Every structure is written in structure tokens, then in C-alpha cells.
Structure 1
Amino acid sequence: MTHLNRLLALLKKKPKTWLTLFGLLMPAVGFGQDASASSATSDSPELLLYTAMALVVIVAVLVLVVALYTLTIIKVIIRKEKVSERADQGLTYEEGPSFWTRFNQKMTDAVPLEKEDAVLLDHNYDGIRELDNHLPPWWKYMFYLSIVFAVVYLLAYHVFDTLPLQEEEYQNELAVASEEAEARKLLAVNELDENSVETTTVEAELANGKNIFEKSCAVCHAADGGGGVGPNLTDVYWLHGGSINDLFKTIKYGVPQKGMIAWQATLKPTDIRDVASYILTMQGTTPASPKEPQGDPYEPGAAGQESGN
């Protein structure tokens, strides 16, 4: 009778074995159904990923348990068959060492207690004897592996320069951090609007604002801000508010009913900020031909003087 036939015969005699196998597999099936139901009602991809990973791990563990259980049954059947065969031959069955025992012996090269006399040295220290044991093979293998690692490390880092040293890694990290900072800065610039704008004092940005003002705004407000078609920008009177937020909003959206065009399609948000900041630097200056005051006086921080009024 083959081992498979013996296994089938054993399972027929012991139906509880089948029930055990089904009992091990049923939680996986039930968990799979629960996971499917929960995933159907969830829109989170992370939750779906974690659920799938948990299901895979649980099923893998259950399959491993079932496989070990099956192997144990097969091992018992084979052992019984060998015992029966030896009994028919009038011999006693002696089971050899297990795989783990053989593996442990090979890795440690330990001398059995009954054979320690073969490695016993003549040294005697207050009754303490010394054994001439060999180094464990696992230790020697690790030592050889460290030598190989050292050679590979030396070639990779110091001979062929295929991998960066710590200083180069540091510089690379700085470069990556700089790129990320520029990306965040660009994102902040793209999100710049009349609510988040702040007055700039950077010389280059104010120079950019002056250049834009002289090219695009001076025709209506005069190069010195004294006014012409447009109002005077050097006094404290404003038609649409005198804060940086108000100026940004006025330049961005324009005042169509009074002939001022919207510049949001022509100027970038940073350019509008630069022009508005430059205009604020003209406060208190003396233009050649100042236009009469228009609007209401604006004092920064005064009660009732809020952005957009």
C-alpha cells in the first residue's frame, strides 16, 4: 500500500482530521467575505490595500499551518509503515536524527559529551579542564562573509566609485532638499493672491515692480505716481483701499467702469505683488504735477481700514 493510500485510509478512519482542516480554512473564507463587504463600502485605497495585505498574510499562515499539519500526518504514516516492515523482518526500527539535529550539528560542530575525552587538553586550572573545541562553522561562515563584504565595499566605494561616500550623499541630500524648497516656493507663488500677498522689500523685486510700473502704469498715473488719467498714488487718498491686499486686488481685477484694465492675464502674481509693493514706496514722495486727492484717506492699521474696503 502506498503512502497516499495510507493517508486516504487514515482520513477515512478519522473524519475529525477533515473537520480540522475545514476549521482552519473557514476563518480565511469568512475574513475574505468580510473584507470584500467592507471594501465594497469603502472608498479609501489605503484601507483596501491594508485589507488585502491582511487577507494575504492570514491565508498564507493558514496554508502553512495546514501544510505542516499534513506533513506531520504523512510522517506518522511513513513511520508506522517502516515500523511494520521492520517488524515483519524481525528487526527493531530505530529512527535516525531529525533534520534540525543534523543541521545544528553541522553548524556548531559540537563534540558529544561522551566523546569529550578526545578533545580534552592537559591544562588544569583549579580543577577546571580545557577542551580543544573548534570554532563553530556558523561563526567562520559569518567571518568569511564579512571579508567578502569588506572587499565589495572597498571596490564599490573607493576603487570604482560606483556608490557615493557619506560626503557625496550629504551633498546629494542638500541638492534634493534645495529642489524641494524651490518646488514649495513655486507652489506658494502660484497660490499667491489678494488674501495671502505680503509687501516685499527685496531690492530685485522692487526693481522689477518699478520696471513694470514705468512700462504699463506710468501712462495713466505718471512715472512719478503723481496721476493723470488715473489717480495720484503718492498721497494718502485711495479710491479702492491703500493696503497691499487692496492694491493687489485692484491691479489684478482692474476697475473696468473707470477704464483700468485687469492685469491678471498679463502679469504673474509675483509681478502684481512687485508693482503693488513699489507703489507703496511712492507714498509721501513729491511728484512734479500731483493730481488732486481722490477717495478716502487710508492709514495702515487704522480702525475700519480693512483689506478690500
Structure 2
Amino acid sequence: MKKIIPAYVRVPLIFAIVMGALEYFIDSGDKPAFIKYPMVALFLGVFLFLLIAIEIVVDAVDKVTYSLLSDEQKKQLAEAQSVSFADSKLMKMLTRSKDIEQEADVMLDHDYDGIKELDNVLPPWWVGLFYACIVFAIVYLVRFHIVGDYTQEEEFIAEMEQKDKEVQEYLKTAPDLMTKDKVTLLTDAASLSEGENIFKTNCVACHRADAGGAIGPNLTDKYWILGGGIKNVFNTITEGGRSGKGMVPWKETLKPTEIQKVASYILSLQGSNPKDPKPSEGDEWIEEGAAPAADADATAVTDSTEVATVVVDSLKTE
């Protein structure tokens, strides 16, 4: 049977449309959806196979059907298929053009060196579009030039303000846009459990399973090389340690939320006192706003002075 679009064009076109729709609706980041998600690639493969199979089956059915037609039916089919789109009823309805045999009915008396002019009517679609443009122009004139509705500049500013608000709202809860300035300490059991799994998968080779330190420093004491606290630990894991001899950056391997969880888990190990810990490295970290720990020697001196004062007072009394 006659087909307007051949199969070798139809199949790639349909496949490309479906593939484009999947890429549009599936959020796959910076990678194509069929690469990031194997199931998408499997679906596309099955879909392409079905398209080709359908074309083969339809072509076979057409051949069988054609072979069952009589000579007269084949002749009628050939005549029907020989009609071009320009001569079809649809084209005539869209253009309202006259056949060549009817041109004498619309022929004007004008004659320019043998060139004659036809008085064909305008195509209906063109006339409808023309009237629609007139209606639109009247509405636009009344709304924006007579009534004085918003200008294009005001519309642009309003839309930009709305989009800025939406972006700010999104950034407040966007998990994978976590930064050093936004990170907070997690204390819930689920987050700490995930952080523990990340730590055991990636960090035990240098820090031991109990975080007591091996190649890397001890993470359970109050001394830190690059600063303690959730913000500094998050930044150290993200950007890496000291240049040339510190930890490698993990920002290309772990997501920001994963770094937040493992940093929170590490801080939860403070004071856990693992067996045979590595000697402390770096400087003692005191969290901002925390009261400094009282010095034991100063406390002892104070206590002894108070005792001596009590003894002197008692002797004076006696």
C-alpha cells in the first residue's frame, strides 16, 4: 500500500521522538538517560526492535493483501495511489482553488502580453489567520495602549523576581547543593548509620575502622590539623587535606549530602577512646561559643588555697 513517509524515514523519526521525550522527562544530570539508567537503554532497544518488527509485519500483510486482489481492484488501487497530494480533496479544501478545466470561470479580462490573470479566492486558512490577527491587534491595543496594563519591562522584572524566589526556595532544600556555609551537623540515627557505611567503605584504610588513625590522623580526639567542627571537617573531606601529603579530595566521588553524613559520623566518634590510638596531631579545637575546659592544675591550686584558708581561720579561732 502507498505510504506518504517511507519506512526508512518513519522508523528513525519515531525512535528519535521517543528518545528525545525520555531525555526531556528523565532527570539524568550531566549524562544521557540511556547511559545513566540501563533500564532506559533496554527500553529503547526493545522499542526499536518492535518498530522494525511492526514494519516488517505490515509490509508482509500488504503484499499478501495485494496478491488477493483481482485485476480490476489492482487497477483501481493504482489509480487511487497515483493521485498526488496537490490534487487531493484536502488540498482543495484548504486552498479552494479551481481545476484547470474551470479556470475560464475565474479568468479576468486583463491581458499583459499574453499573460492572463485569474481571480482565485484567498485560501480559507489565510483568511482565518488574517482575521485572527486583526482581533489580536485590537485586544492588544486596548489592553496595553489604552487601558495601560503592564509593560514588557515590568513583566520581565516580575518574572525574574519570581524565579529568584523559586531558586532561593529550591536552594534551601536542595540536598546535592550542600556547601561548607550551609552544612549542619546531623545527629539522627539514620544519617549517622549511612555515614558509618560510607566511612567503612572509603576511610578505614587510612583512619582504621575505629577512626583511631593509621596513615591518616586520629579522628576521635580533640586535635585537628585543618580545624574541627562540622564545617571544617566537611570542607576537608570535600577539598582534601594538605597539598602533597594530605587526603585526596572526595568531592568527585561522594555527593555533598554523603560528605555531610560521613563528617557527622566522624564527629560523633569524639571521645570514643579507641585502642592504641595514633598520637594527636594538629591543634586543639574548641567549638565557637563553647566554654573552655577548666585547667586541672589551676583547679588543684584553687582548692588547696581554699583549704589553707580554712585551716588558718580555724587556728585563729582556737
TM-score, structure 2 normalization: 0.39
TM-score, structure 1 normalization: 0.40
| Higher alpha-carbon Rg | 1
